[in-house]
Amino acid sequence: MTGNFWRYTALIALKDLRIEGRSREVLYTMGFSASLVVLVFSFALASATDPAQGPIVAAGVLWAATLFTGTVALARVLDRERENESIRSLLLSPAPRASIYAGKLIATTVLMLAVEMLLTVLVGVLFSAGVFSHLGWLALVLILGTLGFASTGVVFSAALLRSRSREALLGALLFPIVIPVLLAASRATACLFDPLSPDLEPVAFWVRFLLATDVIYIALGLWVFEPVVIGE
Amino acid sequence: MSERHLRVAKVCKSYGRQRALVDVSVTFAPGQVTAIVGPNGAGKTTLLGILSTLARPTSGEIFLGDEPITQSPAARQSIGYVGHEPGVYPDLSAHQNLRIFASLYALADAETRIQAMLERVDLADVRGDLPARAYSRGMLQRLALARALLHGPEILLFDEPSSALDPVGARWLSEELLRERDAGRLVILVTHDLDAAAQVAGHLVVIRRGRVALDRVEPSGFTAAQVRSLYEEALRDR
Protein backbone atom coordinates (compact mmCIF):
# COMPACT_ATOMS: atom_id res chain seq x y z
CA MET A 1 0.00 0.00 0.00
CA THR A 2 1.47 3.32 -1.04
CA GLY A 3 1.27 6.65 0.76
CA ASN A 4 -1.15 7.75 -1.93
CA PHE A 5 -3.54 4.96 -1.02
CA TRP A 6 -3.71 6.11 2.60
CA ARG A 7 -3.98 9.76 1.57
CA TYR A 8 -7.00 9.06 -0.63
CA THR A 9 -8.49 6.74 2.00
CA ALA A 10 -8.28 9.48 4.60
CA LEU A 11 -9.75 12.05 2.19
CA ILE A 12 -12.74 9.87 1.37
CA ALA A 13 -13.39 8.89 4.98
CA LEU A 14 -13.16 12.53 6.10
CA LYS A 15 -15.45 13.61 3.27
CA ASP A 16 -18.12 11.11 4.36
CA LEU A 17 -17.78 12.07 8.02
CA ARG A 18 -17.93 15.79 7.14
CA ILE A 19 -21.14 15.24 5.16
CA GLU A 20 -22.58 13.33 8.10
CA GLY A 21 -21.41 16.09 10.44
CA ARG A 22 -23.50 18.53 8.42
CA SER A 23 -26.68 16.49 8.10
CA ARG A 24 -26.38 14.08 11.08
CA GLU A 25 -29.21 12.07 9.56
CA VAL A 26 -27.43 8.70 9.78
CA LEU A 27 -26.35 9.23 13.39
CA TYR A 28 -29.82 10.35 14.51
CA THR A 29 -31.57 7.52 12.65
CA MET A 30 -29.13 4.93 13.96
CA GLY A 31 -29.20 6.29 17.51
CA PHE A 32 -32.99 6.35 17.58
CA SER A 33 -33.43 2.84 16.14
CA ALA A 34 -30.70 1.43 18.39
CA SER A 35 -32.31 2.88 21.52
CA LEU A 36 -35.68 1.55 20.43
CA VAL A 37 -34.37 -1.98 19.85
CA VAL A 38 -32.65 -2.08 23.26
CA LEU A 39 -35.71 -0.66 25.03
CA VAL A 40 -38.10 -3.14 23.40
CA PHE A 41 -35.84 -6.07 24.28
CA SER A 42 -35.36 -4.83 27.83
CA PHE A 43 -39.15 -4.62 28.41
CA ALA A 44 -39.81 -7.93 26.67
CA LEU A 45 -37.10 -9.82 28.54
CA ALA A 46 -37.26 -8.01 31.90
CA SER A 47 -39.13 -10.73 33.80
CA ALA A 48 -38.16 -13.69 31.63
CA THR A 49 -34.41 -13.60 31.95
CA ASP A 50 -32.65 -16.11 34.14
CA PRO A 51 -29.87 -14.14 35.92
CA ALA A 52 -27.34 -16.71 34.74
CA GLN A 53 -28.35 -16.03 31.15
CA GLY A 54 -28.21 -12.24 31.63
CA PRO A 55 -24.78 -11.65 30.00
CA ILE A 56 -25.69 -13.80 26.99
CA VAL A 57 -28.99 -11.94 26.49
CA ALA A 58 -27.31 -8.52 26.91
CA ALA A 59 -24.62 -9.43 24.37
CA GLY A 60 -27.25 -10.73 21.96
CA VAL A 61 -29.28 -7.54 22.26
CA LEU A 62 -26.18 -5.38 21.76
CA TRP A 63 -25.20 -7.18 18.54
CA ALA A 64 -28.77 -7.47 17.23
CA ALA A 65 -29.13 -3.70 17.59
CA THR A 66 -25.71 -3.21 15.95
CA LEU A 67 -26.75 -5.38 13.02
CA PHE A 68 -29.97 -3.44 12.60
CA THR A 69 -28.46 0.03 12.85
CA GLY A 70 -25.35 -0.93 10.88
CA THR A 71 -27.54 -1.78 7.90
CA VAL A 72 -29.01 1.73 8.07
CA ALA A 73 -25.50 3.25 8.07
CA LEU A 74 -24.32 1.08 5.18
CA ALA A 75 -27.31 1.86 3.01
CA ARG A 76 -27.08 5.60 3.63
CA VAL A 77 -23.31 6.09 3.29
CA LEU A 78 -23.40 4.56 -0.21
CA ASP A 79 -26.80 6.03 -1.06
CA ARG A 80 -25.30 9.51 -0.74
CA GLU A 81 -23.02 8.67 -3.66
CA ARG A 82 -26.02 7.66 -5.77
CA GLU A 83 -27.79 10.98 -5.26
CA ASN A 84 -26.74 13.32 -8.09
CA GLU A 85 -24.48 10.49 -9.38
CA SER A 86 -21.60 11.75 -7.28
CA ILE A 87 -20.20 8.20 -7.34
CA ARG A 88 -19.28 8.86 -10.99
CA SER A 89 -17.27 11.96 -10.02
CA LEU A 90 -15.53 9.94 -7.33
CA LEU A 91 -14.75 7.05 -9.68
CA LEU A 92 -13.43 9.49 -12.29
CA SER A 93 -11.04 11.09 -9.81
CA PRO A 94 -7.49 9.74 -9.58
CA ALA A 95 -8.33 8.05 -6.23
CA PRO A 96 -7.64 4.30 -6.46
CA ARG A 97 -10.92 2.39 -6.22
CA ALA A 98 -9.49 0.35 -3.34
CA SER A 99 -9.04 3.55 -1.35
CA ILE A 100 -12.66 4.50 -2.05
CA TYR A 101 -13.58 1.16 -0.46
CA ALA A 102 -11.22 1.71 2.48
CA GLY A 103 -12.50 5.26 3.02
CA LYS A 104 -16.12 4.12 3.02
CA LEU A 105 -15.22 1.27 5.38
CA ILE A 106 -13.56 3.64 7.85
CA ALA A 107 -16.41 6.17 7.72
CA THR A 108 -19.07 3.46 8.23
CA THR A 109 -17.09 1.89 11.08
CA VAL A 110 -16.65 5.25 12.84
CA LEU A 111 -20.39 6.02 12.56
CA MET A 112 -21.32 2.56 13.82
CA LEU A 113 -18.87 2.75 16.71
CA ALA A 114 -20.26 6.14 17.75
CA VAL A 115 -23.73 4.60 18.04
CA GLU A 116 -22.34 1.45 19.70
CA MET A 117 -20.99 3.62 22.52
CA LEU A 118 -24.54 4.75 23.25
CA LEU A 119 -25.81 1.18 22.81
CA THR A 120 -23.24 -0.24 25.23
CA VAL A 121 -24.21 2.24 27.95
CA LEU A 122 -27.92 1.50 27.38
CA VAL A 123 -27.35 -2.25 27.52
CA GLY A 124 -25.25 -1.80 30.65
CA VAL A 125 -28.00 0.17 32.38
CA LEU A 126 -31.06 -1.76 31.22
CA PHE A 127 -29.60 -5.29 31.44
CA SER A 128 -27.26 -4.68 34.39
CA ALA A 129 -24.39 -5.92 32.23
CA GLY A 130 -20.82 -5.38 33.36
CA VAL A 131 -19.87 -3.21 30.44
CA PHE A 132 -17.09 -1.42 32.29
CA SER A 133 -15.38 -4.46 33.83
CA HIS A 134 -13.14 -5.15 30.81
CA LEU A 135 -13.48 -1.94 28.84
CA GLY A 136 -10.33 -2.42 26.74
CA TRP A 137 -11.35 -5.91 25.64
CA LEU A 138 -14.91 -4.78 24.98
CA ALA A 139 -13.67 -1.91 22.81
CA LEU A 140 -11.48 -4.36 20.86
CA VAL A 141 -14.40 -6.77 20.30
CA LEU A 142 -16.68 -3.91 19.22
CA ILE A 143 -14.08 -2.53 16.78
CA LEU A 144 -13.27 -5.94 15.25
CA GLY A 145 -16.93 -7.02 15.05
CA THR A 146 -17.94 -3.73 13.45
CA LEU A 147 -15.06 -3.85 10.97
CA GLY A 148 -16.04 -7.39 9.97
CA PHE A 149 -19.66 -6.36 9.44
CA ALA A 150 -18.84 -3.12 7.58
CA SER A 151 -16.11 -4.64 5.38
CA THR A 152 -18.62 -6.96 3.72
CA GLY A 153 -21.48 -4.48 3.95
CA VAL A 154 -19.68 -1.78 1.96
CA VAL A 155 -19.14 -4.22 -0.94
CA PHE A 156 -22.79 -5.38 -0.98
CA SER A 157 -24.07 -1.83 -0.59
CA ALA A 158 -21.92 -0.73 -3.56
CA ALA A 159 -23.14 -3.70 -5.61
CA LEU A 160 -26.75 -2.68 -4.92
CA LEU A 161 -26.16 1.01 -5.60
CA ARG A 162 -28.31 1.02 -8.73
CA SER A 163 -30.78 -1.60 -7.59
CA ARG A 164 -34.35 -0.45 -6.91
CA SER A 165 -34.99 -2.65 -3.88
CA ARG A 166 -31.53 -2.25 -2.38
CA GLU A 167 -32.70 -1.78 1.24
CA ALA A 168 -34.50 -5.13 1.23
CA LEU A 169 -31.77 -6.93 -0.69
CA LEU A 170 -28.92 -5.57 1.44
CA GLY A 171 -30.08 -7.39 4.58
CA ALA A 172 -30.95 -10.59 2.71
CA LEU A 173 -27.52 -10.78 1.05
CA LEU A 174 -25.40 -9.42 3.87
CA PHE A 175 -26.71 -11.16 7.00
CA PRO A 176 -25.83 -14.76 6.01
CA ILE A 177 -22.26 -13.68 5.15
CA VAL A 178 -21.65 -11.87 8.44
CA ILE A 179 -23.05 -14.61 10.69
CA PRO A 180 -19.55 -15.85 11.70
CA VAL A 181 -18.57 -12.30 12.74
CA LEU A 182 -21.76 -11.76 14.73
CA LEU A 183 -21.55 -15.14 16.49
CA ALA A 184 -17.92 -14.59 17.45
CA ALA A 185 -18.54 -11.01 18.57
CA SER A 186 -21.58 -11.89 20.67
CA ARG A 187 -19.81 -14.89 22.30
CA ALA A 188 -16.83 -12.69 23.20
CA THR A 189 -19.13 -9.92 24.48
CA ALA A 190 -21.12 -12.39 26.62
CA CYS A 191 -17.90 -13.56 28.29
CA LEU A 192 -16.94 -9.93 28.98
CA PHE A 193 -20.36 -9.08 30.45
CA ASP A 194 -20.27 -12.03 32.85
CA PRO A 195 -19.16 -10.77 36.28
CA LEU A 196 -18.87 -14.33 37.64
CA SER A 197 -16.44 -15.64 35.05
CA PRO A 198 -13.46 -13.33 34.68
CA ASP A 199 -11.74 -15.90 32.43
CA LEU A 200 -10.46 -13.99 29.40
CA GLU A 201 -9.16 -17.02 27.51
CA PRO A 202 -12.33 -17.56 25.46
CA VAL A 203 -12.40 -13.81 24.74
CA ALA A 204 -8.86 -13.96 23.39
CA PHE A 205 -9.87 -16.92 21.19
CA TRP A 206 -12.86 -15.05 19.74
CA VAL A 207 -10.76 -11.90 19.25
CA ARG A 208 -8.22 -13.92 17.22
CA PHE A 209 -11.11 -15.42 15.24
CA LEU A 210 -12.54 -11.94 14.54
CA LEU A 211 -9.13 -10.63 13.54
CA ALA A 212 -8.67 -13.47 11.02
CA THR A 213 -12.18 -12.99 9.62
CA ASP A 214 -11.64 -9.22 9.31
CA VAL A 215 -8.36 -9.71 7.43
CA ILE A 216 -10.07 -12.09 4.98
CA TYR A 217 -13.16 -9.89 4.50
CA ILE A 218 -11.15 -6.67 4.07
CA ALA A 219 -8.73 -8.29 1.60
CA LEU A 220 -11.68 -9.60 -0.42
CA GLY A 221 -13.38 -6.20 -0.25
CA LEU A 222 -10.28 -4.37 -1.52
CA TRP A 223 -10.06 -6.88 -4.37
CA VAL A 224 -13.68 -7.00 -5.54
CA PHE A 225 -14.83 -3.42 -4.87
CA GLU A 226 -13.72 -1.98 -8.22
CA PRO A 227 -15.47 -4.48 -10.53
CA VAL A 228 -18.53 -4.41 -8.26
CA VAL A 229 -18.91 -0.64 -8.15
CA ILE A 230 -18.23 -0.19 -11.86
CA GLY A 231 -20.67 -2.97 -12.66
CA GLU A 232 -18.29 -4.91 -14.93
CA MET B 1 -3.20 22.97 -23.50
CA SER B 2 -1.76 19.71 -24.87
CA GLU B 3 -2.03 18.83 -28.54
CA ARG B 4 -2.73 15.13 -27.97
CA HIS B 5 -5.45 13.43 -29.97
CA LEU B 6 -7.82 10.91 -28.42
CA ARG B 7 -7.96 7.81 -30.60
CA VAL B 8 -10.52 5.02 -30.31
CA ALA B 9 -9.08 1.95 -32.05
CA LYS B 10 -11.38 -0.93 -33.03
CA VAL B 11 -13.33 -0.82 -29.79
CA CYS B 12 -16.00 -3.46 -29.17
CA LYS B 13 -18.20 -3.75 -26.10
CA SER B 14 -20.55 -6.63 -25.36
CA TYR B 15 -22.92 -7.25 -22.47
CA GLY B 16 -23.37 -11.00 -22.57
CA ARG B 17 -24.55 -11.78 -26.07
CA GLN B 18 -25.66 -8.22 -26.76
CA ARG B 19 -23.14 -6.16 -28.70
CA ALA B 20 -23.29 -2.50 -27.64
CA LEU B 21 -20.30 -1.31 -29.73
CA VAL B 22 -18.88 -3.00 -32.79
CA ASP B 23 -15.45 -2.14 -34.17
CA VAL B 24 -15.68 1.57 -33.35
CA SER B 25 -12.71 3.63 -34.54
CA VAL B 26 -12.77 7.43 -34.26
CA THR B 27 -10.15 10.11 -33.64
CA PHE B 28 -10.98 13.23 -31.63
CA ALA B 29 -8.83 16.33 -32.04
CA PRO B 30 -7.97 19.00 -29.44
CA GLY B 31 -9.48 22.43 -30.03
CA GLN B 32 -12.56 20.84 -31.53
CA VAL B 33 -16.04 19.96 -30.32
CA THR B 34 -17.22 16.53 -31.43
CA ALA B 35 -20.93 15.82 -31.22
CA ILE B 36 -21.83 12.14 -30.93
CA VAL B 37 -25.45 11.64 -31.94
CA GLY B 38 -27.64 8.65 -32.59
CA PRO B 39 -30.95 7.08 -31.69
CA ASN B 40 -31.71 5.65 -28.22
CA GLY B 41 -29.71 2.51 -27.47
CA ALA B 42 -27.24 3.17 -30.30
CA GLY B 43 -24.23 2.92 -27.94
CA LYS B 44 -23.40 6.62 -27.42
CA THR B 45 -23.35 6.48 -23.63
CA THR B 46 -21.44 3.18 -23.69
CA LEU B 47 -18.79 4.84 -25.85
CA LEU B 48 -18.63 7.81 -23.46
CA GLY B 49 -18.30 5.38 -20.52
CA ILE B 50 -15.31 3.76 -22.23
CA LEU B 51 -13.77 7.14 -23.13
CA SER B 52 -14.09 8.23 -19.51
CA THR B 53 -12.32 4.98 -18.37
CA LEU B 54 -15.38 4.02 -16.30
CA ALA B 55 -16.08 1.00 -18.49
CA ARG B 56 -13.67 -1.47 -20.07
CA PRO B 57 -13.97 -2.28 -23.75
CA THR B 58 -14.37 -5.97 -24.53
CA SER B 59 -11.66 -5.50 -27.17
CA GLY B 60 -9.81 -2.58 -28.71
CA GLU B 61 -8.01 0.30 -27.02
CA ILE B 62 -8.22 4.04 -26.41
CA PHE B 63 -5.08 6.14 -26.84
CA LEU B 64 -4.42 9.66 -25.62
CA GLY B 65 -1.54 10.64 -27.86
CA ASP B 66 0.47 7.40 -27.93
CA GLU B 67 -0.51 6.37 -24.44
CA PRO B 68 -3.19 3.67 -23.92
CA ILE B 69 -5.63 4.96 -21.30
CA THR B 70 -8.18 2.20 -20.85
CA GLN B 71 -8.63 1.83 -17.09
CA SER B 72 -5.57 3.97 -16.33
CA PRO B 73 -5.89 5.89 -13.03
CA ALA B 74 -3.32 8.43 -14.27
CA ALA B 75 -5.43 9.14 -17.36
CA ARG B 76 -8.36 10.10 -15.16
CA GLN B 77 -6.42 13.26 -14.27
CA SER B 78 -6.84 14.32 -17.93
CA ILE B 79 -10.61 13.88 -18.04
CA GLY B 80 -13.45 16.16 -16.96
CA TYR B 81 -17.00 14.84 -17.14
CA VAL B 82 -20.38 16.58 -17.04
CA GLY B 83 -23.46 14.36 -17.20
CA HIS B 84 -27.17 15.06 -16.88
CA GLU B 85 -26.77 14.53 -13.14
CA PRO B 86 -24.43 17.08 -11.55
CA GLY B 87 -22.18 14.60 -9.71
CA VAL B 88 -21.85 16.72 -6.56
CA TYR B 89 -22.76 16.16 -2.90
CA PRO B 90 -26.13 17.77 -2.13
CA ASP B 91 -25.43 18.25 1.59
CA LEU B 92 -22.34 20.37 0.92
CA SER B 93 -22.02 23.91 -0.43
CA ALA B 94 -20.44 24.67 -3.81
CA HIS B 95 -17.18 25.66 -2.15
CA GLN B 96 -17.07 22.53 0.03
CA ASN B 97 -17.82 20.32 -2.98
CA LEU B 98 -15.02 21.89 -4.99
CA ARG B 99 -12.63 21.67 -2.05
CA ILE B 100 -13.21 17.90 -1.86
CA PHE B 101 -12.48 17.46 -5.56
CA ALA B 102 -9.46 19.80 -5.33
CA SER B 103 -8.04 17.49 -2.64
CA LEU B 104 -8.78 14.37 -4.69
CA TYR B 105 -6.91 15.89 -7.65
CA ALA B 106 -4.14 17.13 -5.31
CA LEU B 107 -4.33 20.69 -6.68
CA ALA B 108 -1.56 22.87 -5.33
CA ASP B 109 -3.32 26.24 -5.64
CA ALA B 110 -6.71 24.86 -4.61
CA GLU B 111 -8.26 27.97 -3.00
CA THR B 112 -7.34 30.26 -5.91
CA ARG B 113 -8.71 27.79 -8.45
CA ILE B 114 -11.90 27.20 -6.49
CA GLN B 115 -12.56 30.95 -6.28
CA ALA B 116 -11.79 31.40 -9.98
CA MET B 117 -14.15 28.55 -10.90
CA LEU B 118 -16.96 29.82 -8.67
CA GLU B 119 -16.64 33.26 -10.25
CA ARG B 120 -16.55 31.79 -13.73
CA VAL B 121 -19.78 29.82 -13.24
CA ASP B 122 -21.39 32.71 -11.40
CA LEU B 123 -21.72 30.96 -8.04
CA ALA B 124 -19.26 33.11 -6.10
CA ASP B 125 -22.02 35.31 -4.70
CA VAL B 126 -24.23 32.44 -3.52
CA ARG B 127 -24.46 32.23 0.29
CA GLY B 128 -21.41 30.27 1.37
CA ASP B 129 -23.16 27.74 3.61
CA LEU B 130 -26.08 27.04 1.26
CA PRO B 131 -26.07 23.29 0.49
CA ALA B 132 -26.22 22.24 -3.15
CA ARG B 133 -29.55 20.55 -2.33
CA ALA B 134 -31.11 24.04 -2.32
CA TYR B 135 -29.71 24.97 -5.75
CA SER B 136 -31.81 25.24 -8.89
CA ARG B 137 -31.15 22.82 -11.74
CA GLY B 138 -29.21 25.49 -13.62
CA MET B 139 -27.01 26.28 -10.59
CA LEU B 140 -26.30 22.58 -10.10
CA GLN B 141 -25.21 22.22 -13.71
CA ARG B 142 -22.94 25.26 -13.36
CA LEU B 143 -21.42 23.67 -10.26
CA ALA B 144 -20.98 20.44 -12.25
CA LEU B 145 -19.05 22.35 -14.91
CA ALA B 146 -16.87 24.00 -12.25
CA ARG B 147 -16.15 20.54 -10.80
CA ALA B 148 -15.25 19.15 -14.22
CA LEU B 149 -12.94 22.06 -15.08
CA LEU B 150 -11.32 22.48 -11.66
CA HIS B 151 -8.28 20.28 -12.37
CA GLY B 152 -7.72 21.66 -15.89
CA PRO B 153 -8.43 18.46 -17.87
CA GLU B 154 -7.32 18.00 -21.49
CA ILE B 155 -10.54 16.18 -22.37
CA LEU B 156 -14.05 17.31 -21.53
CA LEU B 157 -16.88 14.80 -21.86
CA PHE B 158 -20.50 15.95 -21.82
CA ASP B 159 -23.39 13.48 -21.65
CA GLU B 160 -26.69 15.24 -22.43
CA PRO B 161 -25.62 18.11 -20.17
CA SER B 162 -28.50 20.41 -21.06
CA SER B 163 -31.30 17.82 -20.94
CA ALA B 164 -32.98 19.42 -17.90
CA LEU B 165 -31.91 23.03 -18.47
CA ASP B 166 -34.08 25.91 -19.61
CA PRO B 167 -33.15 27.64 -22.92
CA VAL B 168 -31.05 30.28 -21.16
CA GLY B 169 -29.13 27.61 -19.23
CA ALA B 170 -28.66 25.52 -22.37
CA ARG B 171 -27.33 28.54 -24.29
CA TRP B 172 -24.94 29.37 -21.44
CA LEU B 173 -23.63 25.80 -21.49
CA SER B 174 -23.10 25.89 -25.29
CA GLU B 175 -21.09 29.11 -24.90
CA GLU B 176 -18.96 27.50 -22.18
CA LEU B 177 -18.35 24.51 -24.43
CA LEU B 178 -17.12 26.78 -27.21
CA ARG B 179 -14.96 28.68 -24.75
CA GLU B 180 -13.28 25.43 -23.74
CA ARG B 181 -12.81 24.48 -27.40
CA ASP B 182 -11.14 27.84 -28.02
CA ALA B 183 -8.88 27.22 -25.04
CA GLY B 184 -7.63 24.12 -26.93
CA ARG B 185 -9.50 21.43 -25.02
CA LEU B 186 -10.78 18.30 -26.67
CA VAL B 187 -14.54 18.42 -26.16
CA ILE B 188 -16.94 15.52 -26.77
CA LEU B 189 -20.67 16.04 -26.48
CA VAL B 190 -23.18 13.20 -26.50
CA THR B 191 -26.63 14.51 -27.29
CA HIS B 192 -30.03 13.78 -28.81
CA ASP B 193 -30.50 17.43 -29.66
CA LEU B 194 -29.35 17.93 -33.26
CA ASP B 195 -29.75 21.74 -33.02
CA ALA B 196 -27.52 21.85 -29.95
CA ALA B 197 -24.98 19.70 -31.80
CA ALA B 198 -25.06 22.07 -34.79
CA GLN B 199 -24.40 25.11 -32.56
CA VAL B 200 -21.09 23.81 -31.26
CA ALA B 201 -19.73 20.89 -33.29
CA GLY B 202 -16.97 20.91 -35.87
CA HIS B 203 -16.89 17.13 -35.90
CA LEU B 204 -20.01 15.00 -36.16
CA VAL B 205 -20.15 11.30 -35.33
CA VAL B 206 -23.37 9.35 -35.82
CA ILE B 207 -23.63 6.02 -34.02
CA ARG B 208 -26.17 3.50 -35.17
CA ARG B 209 -26.61 0.04 -33.64
CA GLY B 210 -23.17 0.23 -32.02
CA ARG B 211 -21.32 1.14 -35.23
CA VAL B 212 -20.01 4.45 -36.55
CA ALA B 213 -22.48 5.34 -39.29
CA LEU B 214 -20.94 8.74 -40.06
CA ASP B 215 -17.71 10.48 -39.10
CA ARG B 216 -17.46 13.95 -40.65
CA VAL B 217 -15.23 16.93 -39.80
CA GLU B 218 -16.27 20.43 -40.90
CA PRO B 219 -13.74 22.98 -39.56
CA SER B 220 -16.12 25.88 -40.19
CA GLY B 221 -18.94 24.11 -38.32
CA PHE B 222 -22.27 22.69 -39.39
CA THR B 223 -25.63 24.33 -39.93
CA ALA B 224 -28.67 22.81 -38.23
CA ALA B 225 -30.00 21.74 -41.65
CA GLN B 226 -26.68 20.05 -42.49
CA VAL B 227 -26.61 18.12 -39.22
CA ARG B 228 -30.21 17.01 -39.71
CA SER B 229 -29.60 15.90 -43.27
CA LEU B 230 -26.33 14.08 -42.42
CA TYR B 231 -28.02 12.37 -39.49
CA GLU B 232 -30.98 11.17 -41.53
CA GLU B 233 -28.69 10.05 -44.32
CA ALA B 234 -26.50 8.08 -41.88
CA LEU B 235 -29.48 6.33 -40.37
CA ARG B 236 -30.99 5.56 -43.76
CA ASP B 237 -27.82 4.36 -45.47
CA ARG B 238 -27.26 0.91 -43.96
pLDDT at A23 (0 to 100): 84
- In terms of CA atoms, which chain B residue is nearest residue A77? B89
Residue A22 to residue B55, Cβ atoms within 8 A: no
**Helix runs in B4-127, H state only:** 44-51, 94-104, 110-120
* Residue B149 near chain A (CB below 8 Å): no
pLDDT at A232 (0 to 100): 66
Residues in chain B with CB shorter than 8 Å from the CB of A92 are 52-54, 76, 79, 81
Instruction: Find the distance separating the first CA and the last CA of chain B, reported in whole Å.
Output: 39
Q: How far does B202 lie from chain A, in Å, by closest CA?
A: 26
Residue B131 to residue A96, Cβ atoms within 8 A: no
pLDDT at A72 (0 to 100): 87
Residues in chain B with CB shorter than 8 Å from the CB of A232 are 55-56
Q: Which residue, among B176, B90, B83, B85, has the nearest Cα to B135 in the 3D structure?
A: B90
* Res A10 pLDDT > 80: yes
Residue A92 to residue B52, Cβ atoms within 8 A: yes
Residue B86 to residue A230, Cβ atoms within 8 A: no
List, as one string, the DSSP characters of A54-96. HHHHHHHHHHHHHHHHHHHHHHHHHHHHHGGGHHHHHHHSSS-
Q: How many helices (H) and strands (E) does chain B have?
A: 7, 10
* Res A48 pLDDT > 70: no
Q: How far does B136 lie from chain A, in Å, by closest CA?
A: 13
Residues in chain B with CB shorter than 8 Å from the CB of A230 are 54-55
Residues in chain A with CB shorter than 8 Å from the CB of B131 are 22
Residue B103 to residue A11, Cβ atoms within 8 A: yes
How many CA atoms within 13 Å lie on the side-chain side of B234? Answer: 23
> Computed from CA positions of residues A168, A170, A175, A176, in that sequence, does the dihedral angle turn out positive or negative?
positive
pLDDT at B238 (0 to 100): 56
pLDDT digit of tens for each residue in chain B (238 aa)?
A: 668 899 999 999 998 888 899 999 999 999 999 999 999 888 998 999 999 988 889 999 999 988 888 767 778 889 999 988 899 999 999 999 999 999 999 999 999 999 999 999 988 888 878 999 999 988 999 999 999 999 999 999 999 887 777 888 888 888 888 998 999 999 999 998 898 899 899 999 999 999 999 999 998 888 999 999 999 988 885 5
pLDDT at A55 (0 to 100): 80
Q: Tell me which of B56, B81, B100, B105 to substitute to probe the interface with A (most A C-beta atoms closer than 10 Å).
A: B100
Q: How far does A112 lie from chain B, in Å, by closest CA?
A: 20
Residue B81 to residue A91, Cβ atoms within 8 A: no
Q: Tell me which of B52, B85, B151 to substitute to probe the interface with A (most A C-beta atoms closer than 10 Å).
A: B85
- Backbone φ and ψ for B36, nearest 5 degrees, come out as -105, 115
Nearest-angstrom CA–CA distance, A74 and B7 = 40
Query: Could you give the ipTM of this predicted complex?
Result: 0.88
Amino acid at B77: Q
Entry field: residues in chain B: 238
Nearest-angstrom CA–CA distance, A217 and A102 = 12
pTM: 0.89
Chain B residues 90-109 with CB within 8 Å of chain A: 90-92, 96, 100-101, 103-106
Instruction: Find the distance separating the first CA and the last CA of chain A, reported in whole Å.
Output: 24
Residues in chain B with CB shorter than 8 Å from the CB of A11 are 100, 103-104
